[in-house]
């Protein structure tokens, strides 16, 4: 037998997901901020997993320097200077036409985050801009939305799944916005494609636990990986920090910048 009905059979056969978990995944909505290397790989996996609805947000156009690691794009997209969300939306629809895909070619700002992001079941970090991540963290904590931080540059990466009230938020671990001149990004220190793949895979794995209905996982954890030295570790975390300016004290410094 080889029919479209068989599409999710191997995922359903995985016992922790099963038919019920697949139905939960199908009923869920994920939103990805940033459609670069992480966003491309996460969108690809989520659409194949049979998500109900996927929203992609990115204002940028495909460039030749993206093709080395941003797996949804090809030479034609770079030559045409196509919007990433447009190229990604077309490719993803060809992979799985059952998924409701929405694309927004906009930059997330403090002024528009509420209307642009709304209330998805999970927000996935595909941006490489720290101010946007701190903004997402403020918004997610304020609204009680789960989100998954993911970052990578050179050969190293970090993943932090955040469930407000249950796990530490981004500012519990990193209270201050990094100096933009010091923060390592693909533009400053380069990147090898495999590290983006492994970070995206960790993010999607954590998202699938939530979306399939396993509310008890992910446990509070920070993943760190350096593929060049061969180090992979998951650090068990305690709960949120009482003195965290965001989730501990309820100060949303990055969201509030919008009103000034
Ligand atoms: Zn916090």
Distance 29 CA to ligand 1 centre (A): 24
Distance 248 CA to ligand 1 centre (A): 6
pTM for the structure as a whole = 0.96
What mean pLDDT is reported for the chain?
Answer: 95
Among 93, 62, 85, smallest CA distance to 75 is for 62
Phi, psi of 7 (to 5 degrees): -50, -45
Distance 191 CA to ligand 1 centre (A): 29
Q: For 202-209, what is the mean pLDDT?
A: 97
Q: What is the pLDDT of residue 215?
A: 78
Distance 168 CA to ligand 1 centre (A): 5
Domain 4-259 has CATH 3.20.20.70: no
Distance 169 CA to ligand 1 centre (A): 4
Lowest model confidence (mean pLDDT) among 9-13, 45-49, 168-172, 181-185: 181-185
Distance 249 CA to ligand 1 centre (A): 8
Is it the case that residue 172 has pLDDT exceeding 80? yes
Rounded to 5°, angle at Cα 43 from 42 and 49: 90
Q: How confident is the model at residue 222 (pLDDT cuts 50, 70, 90)?
A: very high
Distance 165 CA to ligand 1 centre (A): 9
Q: What is the pLDDT of residue 218?
A: 67
Is it the case that residue 259 has pLDDT exceeding 70? no
Is it the case that residue 258 has pLDDT exceeding 60? no
Q: SS3 letters for the chain?
A: CCCHHHCCHHHHHCCCCHHHHHHHHHCCEEEEECCCHHHHHHHHHHHHHCCCEEEEECCCECCHHHCCCCCCCCHHHHHHCCEHHHHHHHHHHHHCCCCEEEEECCCCCCCCHHHHHCCCCEEEECCCCHHHHHHHHHHHHHHCCCEEEEEEEECEEEEEEECCCCCCCHHHHCCCCCCCCCCCCHHHHCECHHHHHHHHHHHHHHHHHHHCCCCCCCCCEEEEEECCCCEEEEEECCCCCCCCCCCCCCCCHHHHHHHC
Evaluate whether 46 touches 30 at the Cβ level (below 8 Å).
yes
Distance 239 CA to ligand 1 centre (A): 9
Is it the case that residue 260 has pLDDT exceeding 70? no
For 18-70, the pLDDT digits (tens) are 999 999 999 999 999 999 999 999 999 999 999 999 999 999 999 999 999 99
Distance 243 CA to ligand 1 centre (A): 8
Q: What is the pLDDT of residue 1?
A: 74
Q: How confident is the model at residue 12 (pLDDT cuts 50, 70, 90)?
A: very high
For 57-97, the pLDDT digits (tens) are 999 999 999 999 999 999 999 999 999 999 999 999 999 99
For 98-113, the pLDDT digits (tens) are 999 999 999 999 999 9
Among 203, 216, 209, 220, smallest CA distance to 14 is for 209
């Amino acid at each position: 037998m080889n029919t479209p009905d068989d599409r999710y059979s191997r995922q359903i056969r995985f016992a922790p997901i099963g038919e019920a978990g697949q139905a939960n995944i199908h009923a869920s909505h994920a939103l990805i901020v940033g459609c670069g290397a992480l966003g491309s790989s996460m969108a690809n996996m989520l659409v194949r997993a049979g998500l109900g609805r996927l929203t992609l947000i990115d204002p940028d156009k495909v460039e030749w320097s993206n093709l080395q690691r941003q797996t949804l794009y090809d030479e034609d997209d770079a030559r045409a200077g196509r919007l990433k969300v447009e190229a990604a939306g077309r490719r993803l629809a060809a992979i799985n036409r059952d998924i409701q895909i929405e694309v927004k070619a906009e930059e997330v700002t403090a002024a528009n985050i509420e209307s642009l992001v709304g209330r998805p079941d999970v927000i996935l970090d595909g941006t490489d801009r720290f101010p946007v991540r701190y903004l997402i963290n403020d918004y997610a904590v304020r609204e009680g939305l789960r989100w998954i931080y993911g970052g990578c540059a050179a050969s190293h990466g970090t993943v932090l799944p955040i469930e407000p009230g249950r796990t530490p938020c981004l500012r519990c671990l990193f209270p201050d916005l990094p100096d933009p001149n010091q923060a390592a990004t693909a533009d400053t220190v380069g990147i090898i494609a495999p590290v983006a793949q492994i970070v995206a895979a960790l993010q999607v794995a954590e998202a699938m636990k939530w979306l399939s209905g396993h509310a008890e996982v992910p446990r509070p954890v920070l993943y760190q990986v350096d593929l060049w030295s061969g180090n992979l570790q998951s650090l068990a975390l305690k709960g949120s920090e009482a003195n965290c300016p965001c989730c501990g004290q309820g100060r949303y410094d990055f969201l509030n910048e919008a009103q000034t």
